[in-house]
Structure 1
């Protein structure tokens, strides 16, 4: 299981290194919508997220951060 805070921190650190904005766009019903350099990324509000779900979120960020950015 992946902790939500760890996922957010990992994306935030990568965004900072790439000098991109990483901020809360709005609160949805069951998700928080984040803005990553102009791309909207929805992330569920559970304290622990499944590993497959985390990988899905990382892949959504590839468009902005580059392919396989989370494996480096």
Structure 2
């Protein structure tokens, strides 16, 4: 199990776009991303703030991605 670097919401959105997610809508600071196969997740974007490890793990679970996949896309 590899350790992930801390990511901001904008960095995480860039990674998710590389695997086929698109921004469906934005409500406040929450970006809702959808994949063509139906997966969806919400990424909070606050300027300069990193996403906590618990929330990051939940977002990766929502997207059916592993930490290794994210590290390879960075």
Question: Do both proteins adopt the same fold according to a TM-score greater than 0.5, normalized to the shorter chain?
Answer: yes
Measure, in 2, the Cα distance between the counterparts of 1:10 and 1:45: 14
Report the counterpart of residue 40 of structure 1 in structure 2. Answer: 40
Q: What TM-score does the superposition give when structure 1 sets the normalisation length?
A: 0.64
- Show structure 1 runs of 4+ deviating over 4 A: none
- Which is richer in helix? 1
Higher RCO by CA contacts (8 Å cutoff, separation 6 or greater): 2
- Which is richer in strand? 1
CA RMSD of aligned residues (A): 2.0
Residue segments in structure 2 that go unaligned for 5+ positions in a row? 1-5, 70-74
Number of aligned residue pairs: give it: 61
Q: What TM-score does the superposition give when structure 2 sets the normalisation length?
A: 0.62
Measure, in 1, the Cα distance between the counterparts of 2:31 and 2:11: 15
Q: Counterpart of 1:27 in 2: which secondary structure?
A: strand
